[in-house]
Copies of this chain bind each other. A is one copy, B any other.
Amino acid sequence: MYTFEDLQHIVNEALAQEEFVKEPSDLYEPIQYALDSGGKRLRPVLALMAYNLFEDDIHSKIKPILGLEIFHNFTLIHDDIMDRANMRRNKPTIHNKWNDNVAILSGDAMFIKAYDYLFQYQGNNFTEVLKTFNQTALMVCEGQQYDMNFEGQDSVKEQEYLRMIELKTAVLLASGLKIGALMADASNDDVGLLRQFGLFMGMAFQLQDDYLDAFGDAEVFGKKIGGDIAANKKTYLFIKTLEKANEQDAKFLLNVFHSEFSGNAEEKIQQVIAIYKKYDIHKLTREKIEAYFEKAHEALAKVSVNPDRKKHLSGLANKLVKRKM
């Protein structure tokens, strides 16, 4: 069986062999640029791990599964335009390096390429794989729309926030696992359990992101602490604090998380983190993460393969939830 690192290596090698650049270069170069910029390759690796639970020979499945990574990178290109993000993975974003038009159109072309790879799949459950991919893609768009809507709202309910991160992040991880299981012709029960495992792991993964932004170790984290706070992102930490805060703290938070706030960013970050701590939000968030993590493991435990085969997937879940960066 393949470890996470094996598969990460295999996916990177497979991507490196693909040639995306042709004429017109403004359309295709950004695709190559985006795929050359690294990343964890989490979505294709999860799909291959799910497949590898049931089947040993993964090779014919690599190419179609690259479609998941290409799709994910397409969503980042368009999200970065919408969020006016100038950097990603320590490199200028595409609309920043080229321009908005190039980012819109090469994103579209990249999305089409994702389908190109997916359509190369030959095997069981072809239409089911396609439909799963499509439903997921639409949910990712819904998640991004809710995320943008939240920017203009003062209050976001916990349930609304959890639904947003489920759509924007967790469903694509879940669908990676589901697609891998479908390709291995796993039973309906196992397909559903692996999807659940991915969904809960995805929720834990995103909440860990929220957590690290405020409570990570800056040196290990690799980026500045408080980026979400500076950008007025209404994360899980913010929403839970507002629920618990007294009138004064709530008023302060709403005031500094406002697009018109023009005070000192560094000071704001320190003050907000202090309020988070005052209400034990770091503990509460860790508990929430652990709860999702538990649910993920419960789902994985029920998958009908030898427990020994599950060790890489459960090890990966451990790593993702306990990660410091």
Contact = CB atoms under 8 A, between A and B. Distances in A.
A298 interface: no
Given A78-B105, A119-B131, 17 more contacts: A27-B145, A78-B104, A78-B108, A81-B101, A82-B101, A82-B104, A101-B148, A104-B104, A105-B144, A108-B111, A109-B138, A109-B141, A109-B142, A111-B111, A112-B137, A112-B138, A115-B130
Contacts of A111: 108, 111
A141 B112 contact: yes
Interface in A128-149: 130-131, 134, 137-138, 141-142, 144-146, 148-149
Interface string A114-134: 011001000000010011001
Interface of A: 23-24, 26-27, 78, 81-82, 100-101, 104-105, 108-109, 111-113, 115-116, 119, 127, 130-131, 134, 137-138, 141-142, 144-146, 148-149
23 contacts: A23-B142, A24-B142, A24-B145, A24-B149, A26-B145, A26-B148, A26-B149, A27-B141, A27-B145, A78-B104, A78-B108, A81-B104, A82-B101, A100-B100, A105-B145, A108-B108, A112-B134, A112-B137, A112-B141, A115-B115, A115-B134, A119-B130, A119-B134
A142 B137 CA distance: 23
Nearest to A143: B24
A38 to B, nearest CB: 24
A131 B121 CA distance: 12
Contacts of A116: 134, 138
Given A82-B101, A127-B119, A108 B141 contact: yes
A253 to B, nearest CB: 25
Contacts of A105: 78, 82, 141, 144-145, 148
Contacts of A104: 78, 81-82, 104
List 8 A-B pairs, minimum CB-CB distance, nearest first: A27-B145, A109-B141, A24-B145, A82-B101, A112-B137, A112-B138, A119-B130, A115-B134
Nearest to A113: B138
A34 to B, nearest CB: 15
A134 B113 CA distance: 8
A95 to B, nearest CB: 10
Q: Which of A24, A119, A131 has most B Cβ within 10 Å?
A: A24
A138 to B, nearest CB: 5
Nearest to A114: B134
Contacts of A100: 100
A27 B143 CA distance: 10
Contacts of A137: 112
A104 B115 CA distance: 19
Contacts of A141: 27, 105, 108-109, 112
A105 B115 CA distance: 18
A234 to B, nearest CB: 16
Contacts of A130: 115, 119
